Amino acid sequence: MAKEGLKKRLKIIIEKLRDNYPEVKSHLEHKKPFELLVSTVLAAQCTDDRVNMTMVPLYKFKYRNPKAILEDGIDNFRNEIKSINFFNNKAKSILALCEILEKEHGGKVPGDMESLTKLPGVGRKSASVVLGHCFGKEDVIIVDTHLKRVCARLGLIENENPDKIEIELKEIVPTKFQFNFSMRIGEHGRLICHAKKPKCGDCFLSGLCPSYNKV
């Protein structure tokens, strides 16, 4: 009975999110799957704005595909991304990732979870971002810090582990809504449900939120 009540509340949450955030897109600028994949890896513990500032010109004029990064080499690539947090380790992951794309996938980004998560530096979150944005997959949950925070405050999840959160949400969010739900929850976290000072007074979900004015 409790789960049925949760699903009814979730249905209203999904509708309100859709009404308030009808158009949602990645904050990482990209024109093809390869660009989004690399930027997603680079965005770990770094801002999207910093990654965009660094990578958008490089994608346009220098790094159009995995082969271009491999030919430029680790030292040059590392130097190009040195403004990004943890650029050293990320450069190693990106070069290894590009090598696998060239050798095993003909230089193309694969469109399935199993293949993507075998790539260096790519976890389920990054894979879900690429699958949802570039391959039209609806059945993906993007477990980032915004989703974790907002869903916990809304009482939709009980776990803190990303893999368990994904399982929890897949059980209650209808398949066709999962990707857009993730994106809209993320947007809500960026704009309203902030980590330190959430704007509860401005929140259109306040009437559905157990944490309203308690954080």
186 shares a domain with 94: no
Q: What is the CATH number of the domain that holds 55?
A: 1.10.340.30
> Does the residue 94 lie in any domain?
yes
pLDDT of residue 213: 73
Nearest alpha carbon to residue 169 among 146, 192, 208, 142: 142
Per DSSP, 108 falls in state: P
pLDDT of residue 7: 82
168 shares a domain with 121: no
> Does the residue 213 lie in any domain?
no
> Does the residue 215 lie in any domain?
no
> Does the residue 154 lie in any domain?
yes
> Does the residue 214 lie in any domain?
no
Q: Which domain holds residue 175?
A: 2-25+140-208
pLDDT of residue 214: 77
103 shares a domain with 162: no
Q: What is the DSSP string of 4-15?
A: HHHHHHHHHHHH
52 shares a domain with 108: yes
What is the C-alpha to C-alpha distance for residues 138 and 180, in angstroms, rounded to an integer? Answer: 7
125 shares a domain with 163: no
Q: What is the pLDDT of residues 48-75, one digit of tens each?
A: 999 999 999 999 999 999 999 999 999 9
164 is catalytic: no
pTM above 0.75, yes or no: yes
End residue of a domain, out of 119, 134, 149: 134
Asked if pLDDT for residue 99 goes beyond 60, the answer is yes
109 shares a domain with 46: yes
- Name the active-site residue from 144, 163, 164, 170: 144
CA 160, distance to chain mean position in Å, is 17
176 shares a domain with 86: no
pLDDT of residue 4: 74
Q: What is the pLDDT of residues 186-199, one digit of tens each?
A: 999 999 999 999 99
Asked if pLDDT for residue 200 goes beyond 60, the answer is yes
Mean pLDDT, residues 116-140: 96
Asked if pLDDT for residue 1 goes beyond 60, the answer is no
Asked if pLDDT for residue 2 goes beyond 80, the answer is no
What is the C-alpha to C-alpha distance for residues 128 and 116, in angstroms, rounded to an integer? Answer: 9
82 shares a domain with 52: yes
End residue of a domain, out of 134, 158, 192: 134
Q: What is the pLDDT of residues 160-196, one digit of tens each?
A: 999 999 999 999 999 999 999 999 999 999 999 999 9
End residue of a domain, out of 82, 107, 134: 134
- Name the active-site residue from 108, 125, 164, 176: 125
Q: What is the pLDDT of residues 5-44, one digit of tens each?
A: 788 899 999 999 999 999 999 999 999 999 999 999 999 9
90 is catalytic: no
117 shares a domain with 38: yes
Q: How many domains does the chain have?
A: 2
Tell me how many degrees the CA angle 162-87-45 measures, rounded to the nearest 5.
30
Which single residue is written with the structure tokens 């990320």?
A: 90
CB 134 within 8 A of CB 32: yes
